[in-house]
Chains A and B, each alone.
Chain A
């Protein structure tokens, strides 16, 4: 029953979002596109950190690799975006698998530092190859992902739908993956690596696979980035972006499905809101910091975790006598991104 409601809600949300281009203007749809690719990016980190307990401050690099790959393939080599889609994901996943190798030996903060190196080095790469990438001034992609003519819709709306559909697919896959045997193994490695090993889980292979999958998802977000912006520059993939993704995950709630969506909404709309209030924008990072501290202190499970708790209380107080045994909605155990040993 509960499951059906959840499904209905996700479906409703998806319908609403899918219908959005009929109601709102291009500026809002562009913002929605950003929220969509940020959701996928936060989700990619969530798979790694929230489910598997491995930290990464290098996801901006995976995004950047795929975004630049797409931009170069489309702009300089005449590929279509569709051809670049699987290739860019694959490239990001391969780099991710390599980056995952040190994760077999090191964990927690040390692993975070290794990935931090990746995140810091990446923006230098396009600058190194200025002839191909335009260097610091970035690289525009002239060709848009155009809507098929027979649909008679604007390119903006079409791109948004493409992004939304892919994001929905990713979320659906993650949901199924979490409930699968492999998914349970992944979560077991996070919570009890030794026990998981004892129970027959191949910890090493699983960890590297999760790293690759997560990087591939970040790569998808990178492809979406290029589709949405038709522009890439080193300033868009600094290590600050990785930190923002972590922030989005912590605020939204790690280890959940709704968390990345909430996190992405937060990442996009809070700076906008700050801009609107007349507070000095210099304070935006300080505001982020304050919100993060408050969230970690009062809502260790993030917004999604907090809401789930609220829902559980609500359900308990409304529990009718003929349903004495109804359990509170099942919520995955929530883990803060930095609490792993």
Chain B
């Protein structure tokens, strides 16, 4: 009798999987659905408030792309590591109990796939037993992992996404770290309403939730004013050419052109607008960084307005004059692997670390509920990469961290952003609304 080895192997694999991974209670009697005691945030939470904490360490988790086509957007990890190296060198983050805890950061690659992000968060929370998540990356990944966060009551702090959905009050355990797309749209709309009260606007919109969130905010801001959207054209993300849409929009000869497009498509649209002979003032969403704007054809960026929350660190003078940025660069350069990463995109991670530090320090109790409540009542005025005048502020009813922007004019000749007027901050005015 000859057993078939392939089957034996399969059996062995199964058995090995069973034996080697046996830990942390069996799945059949999983009690994570069981509701615990408590009120407010803690309602229905399991009794795990201090998971991931010891007297000397705090364990944090993160899932973000580290491979695949979107790997380049994942620089934040290095900024975060730089901050934690810095804070650990000072003994760690001080909690409300007076203890200093060094940060252990566990990170996993999701290649920007939502369900992989969900599996990673499942592992981080249920196997690695992290105390909280920091800078969880991507809208879809955050939404996919949300049930785990909610069920286990794990703070997911300063997630790297601007999706308005992160402010959904049904899910109080997650808070976004980027300005919401809808908020940005609203600020841009407010600028248009104030400066061009009777303008006509032609819109190019990326046909997805991102584009819609921008436009929704914009339309809210101009509602009731003399500003009129005269034409809207859409394009699919990844569409090779938007020339047809631009031709249609150019025919309107509108006063303003609202470019809700990012990356190379955004650039292409602006070049087409210029080539068409139409000379509107361009309102550009912040998804198109200065480094890309510099690649516009001559003239195409001449009348371009775009918003931002931070100083233009691409300008060496600005970078040299900012103490926090210098401190960041000092630690960033020491971070293994950082030499391949753009320091500007990674700086977000440093600030996420900085803000986490503040949040833990100002918690009322050193547990998950305490830290989450702290994250929902932030009034931060410490060192940041944010322009003065933009509040870093949350309340239990308003989890939007940033609701302000500085509008800038793009100086094409120098390849720089020049501040335009005062910071527009609409703190407290943004309410959660599903994108429709």
A residues near B, CB below 8 A? Answer: 1-2, 5-6, 9-10, 12-13, 16-17, 19-32, 34, 124, 127-128, 130-131, 134-138, 140, 153-157, 160, 225, 229-231, 233, 235-236, 240, 256, 258, 261-262, 265, 271, 275, 280-285, 303-304, 307-308, 310-311, 314-315, 318, 326, 329
CB pair B140 A235 closer than 8 Å: yes
CB pair A154 B140 closer than 8 Å: no
Q: Write out the residue numbers on chain A whose beta carbons fall within 8 Å of the beta carbon of B13.
A: 262, 265
Distance to closest chain A CB from B241 (angstroms): 15
Most chain A C-beta atoms within 10 Å of own C-beta, residue among B13, B24, B112, B208 = B208
Distance to closest chain B CB from A85 (angstroms): 19
CB pair B109 A275 closer than 8 Å: yes
CB pair A154 B209 closer than 8 Å: no
Q: Write out the residue numbers on chain B whose beta carbons fall within 8 Å of the beta carbon of A240.
A: 68
Given contacts A16-B18, A124-B238, A157-B30, contact A137 B165 (CB under 8 A): yes
Q: Report which of B22, B108, B146 forms a contact with A275, defined as CB distance below 8 A.
A: B108
Most chain A C-beta atoms within 10 Å of own C-beta, residue among B6, B7, B122, B436 = B6
Give 20 new A-B contacts, CB below 8 A, not counting A26-B122, A307-B4, A310-B5.
A2-B4, A6-B7, A9-B4, A9-B8, A13-B11, A25-B25, A26-B30, A28-B21, A124-B238, A127-B207, A127-B236, A136-B139, A155-B30, A156-B30, A231-B115, A233-B115, A240-B68, A282-B71, A307-B5, A326-B2
Distance to closest chain B CB from A242 (angstroms): 14
Number of B residues, CB within 8 Å of A: 64
Tell yes or no: B413 within 8 A of A by CB. no
CB pair B28 A12 closer than 8 Å: no
Q: Write out the residue numbers on chain A whose beta carbons fall within 8 Å of the beta carbon of B123.
A: 27
Enumerate B13-50 residues with CB–CB distance to A below 8 Å: 13-15, 17-19, 21-33
CB pair B6 A24 closer than 8 Å: no
What residue of chain B has the Cβ atom nearest to residue A14's Cβ?
B14
Q: Write out the residue numbers on chain B whose beta carbons fall within 8 Å of the beta carbon of A258.
A: 6-7, 9-10
CB pair A136 B208 closer than 8 Å: yes
What residue of chain B has the Cβ atom nearest to residue A16's Cβ?
B14
A202 to B134, CA, bound (A): 59
Given contacts A25-B126, A231-B143, A235-B112, contact A135 B14 (CB under 8 A): no
CB pair B18 A23 closer than 8 Å: yes
Q: Report which of B3, B26, B32 forms a contact with A5, defined as CB distance below 8 A.
A: B3
Q: Report which of B2, B6, B109, B144 forms a contact with A271, defined as CB distance below 8 A.
A: B109
Q: Write out the residue numbers on chain B whose beta carbons fall within 8 Å of the beta carbon of A131.
A: 436
Given contacts A24-B18, A329-B2, contact A154 B7 (CB under 8 A): no
Tell yes or no: B113 within 8 A of A by CB. yes
Distance to closest chain B CB from A248 (angstroms): 14
CB pair B114 A311 closer than 8 Å: no
Distance to closest chain A CB from B108 (angstroms): 6
CB pair B139 A137 closer than 8 Å: yes
Given contacts A24-B22, A24-B27, contact A229 B4 (CB under 8 A): no
CB pair B209 A135 closer than 8 Å: yes
Distance to closest chain B CB from A256 (angstroms): 8
Q: Write out the residue numbers on chain A whose beta carbons fall within 8 Å of the beta carbon of B109.
A: 271, 275, 281, 284
CB pair A30 B25 closer than 8 Å: no
Enumerate B218-238 residues with CB–CB distance to A below 8 Å: 236-238
Distance to closest chain B CB from A161 (angstroms): 9
Q: Write out the residue numbers on chain B whose beta carbons fall within 8 Å of the beta carbon of A2.
A: 1-2, 4
Tell yes or no: B254 within 8 A of A by CB. no
Q: Report which of A13, A28, A271, A275 forms a contact with B27, defined as CB distance below 8 A.
A: A28
A30 to B127, CA, bound (A): 12
A262 to B28, CA, bound (A): 25
Q: Report which of B27, B71, B114, B163 forms a contact with A25, defined as CB distance below 8 A.
A: B27
Q: Write out the residue numbers on chain B whose beta carbons fall within 8 Å of the beta carbon of A230.
A: 147
What residue of chain A has the Cβ atom nearest to residue B70's Cβ?
A235
Q: Write out the residue numbers on chain B whose beta carbons fall within 8 Å of the beta carbon of A135.
A: 208-210, 212
Tell yes or no: B329 within 8 A of A by CB. no
What residue of chain B has the Cβ atom nearest to residue A284's Cβ?
B67
Given contacts A282-B66, A282-B71, contact A307 B144 (CB under 8 A): no
A130 to B234, CA, bound (A): 13
Q: Write out the residue numbers on chain B whose beta carbons fall within 8 Å of the beta carbon of A130.
A: 207-209, 212
CB pair B11 A9 closer than 8 Å: yes
What residue of chain B has the Cβ atom nearest to residue A302's Cβ?
B6
What residue of chain A has the Cβ atom nearest to residue B8's Cβ?
A9
CB pair A30 B6 closer than 8 Å: no
Q: Write out the residue numbers on chain B whose beta carbons fall within 8 Å of the beta carbon of A280.
A: 66, 337
Q: Report which of B11, B27, B71 forms a contact with A160, defined as CB distance below 8 A.
A: B27
Distance to closest chain B CB from A125 (angstroms): 10
A119 to B337, CA, bound (A): 35
CB pair B1 A23 closer than 8 Å: no
CB pair B140 A138 closer than 8 Å: yes
Given contacts A26-B30, A130-B208, A154-B28, contact A13 B7 (CB under 8 A): yes
What residue of chain B has the Cβ atom nearest to residue A318's Cβ?
B2
Tell yes or no: B118 within 8 A of A by CB. yes
Tell yes or no: B119 within 8 A of A by CB. yes
A to B CB contacts below 8 Å, 28 in the list: A5-B1, A5-B3, A9-B4, A9-B10, A13-B10, A23-B19, A24-B22, A26-B32, A27-B126, A29-B27, A130-B209, A136-B139, A136-B208, A137-B143, A138-B143, A138-B144, A154-B31, A154-B32, A157-B30, A160-B27, A235-B140, A258-B7, A280-B337, A282-B67, A285-B67, A307-B5, A314-B5, A315-B2
Q: Write out the residue numbers on chain B whose beta carbons fall within 8 Å of the beta carbon of A311.
A: 2, 4-6
What residue of chain B has the Cβ atom nearest to residue A230's Cβ?
B147
Q: Write out the residue numbers on chain A whose beta carbons fall within 8 Å of the beta carbon of B31.
A: 154
Q: Write out the residue numbers on chain A whose beta carbons fall within 8 Å of the beta carbon of B140.
A: 136-138, 233, 235
Most chain A C-beta atoms within 10 Å of own C-beta, residue among B27, B32, B139 = B27
CB pair A21 B115 closer than 8 Å: no
